Structure 1
């Protein structure tokens, strides 16, 4: 199971005890926020896109949306999300549990600037009922992103 890969990943870094598992689903931003007990925008969702022969995993705030023109400038291609049935094979995690930890070698992780406004964010941990609380600095340390990028837009009230 993918959550076991993520647990092992965090075990080797001494923070396995911070992984949260819920009795209920945390597969969407709204469900994850309810399970964690935080605002939906603090959920660090991982979006997956085809970029050439690689997969770009973009971790963004729960209220952020991909800005297609920014995406095209950053990656020189249109934003094309992976299909649900491609996720587990290409990333190593199924939809609902996609996260930037313990992913397959064909994946490049990027952290979106929308996350920097929070002191704590909650990405999934490989299953549809898990999360971990991390500061943006910890997220950067453990996700080992290729870069911080700005490819999202926020709701008008948050911009």
Structure 2
């Protein structure tokens, strides 16, 4: 198993404990997070997807359960903005250095403000993308917020 993604390097350098889980990625799948949860046989509310958005033109990394959707009004409000929208996939790939379906909140080319959906607190560990398709990182929510220097907030429905 390849351990050397930018995401895993960030965690290793920070001394944060994590596990890696690989699964068979389906390039034709519509919802990557739900596919990952099913393949790994874990509940979708523990597998957190990474969505790149813009709030008043400012890039934001939103990390939320794979079975939830971003409430754009709530995301904008949490960030102190007026409006939010999803970032275009090609822009997200250039900004993060990752391919869609493999975007990790960790080790992005240009680190931006990140927010973790507060429902993560209900789990001892959560899964986030490991920086490539078919690779998930398992870690404690508090360790993720520490690694990203991010806050938890309510912005999903």
Deviation per CA, 1:21-62: give whole Å up to 9, x if none: 33x117711221123220111101111102345310011122
User: Number of aligned pairs?
Assistant: 149
- Counterpart of 1:112 (choices 102, 117, 124) is 117
Which residues of structure 2 form unaligned runs of 5+? none
TM-score of the aligned structures, taking structure 2 as reference length: 0.82
- Aligned residue for 1:138, secondary structure, equals helix
TM-score of the aligned structures, taking structure 1 as reference length: 0.81
Report the RMSD for the aligned CA atoms in angstroms.
2.2
- Counterpart of 1:66 (choices 67, 70, 76) is 70
Which residues of structure 1 form unaligned runs of 5+? 154-159
Runs of 4+ in 1 over 4 A off after TM superposition: 14-17
Contact 1:100 1:109 in 2 (8 A): yes
- Corresponding residue number in structure 2 for 1:55: 59
Q: Is 1:92 the counterpart of 2:116 in the alignment?
A: no
- Give me the whole-angstrom Cα distance separating, in 2, the residues matched to 1:67 and 1:54: 17
* Cα 1:8–1:69 shift into 2, 3 Å: closer
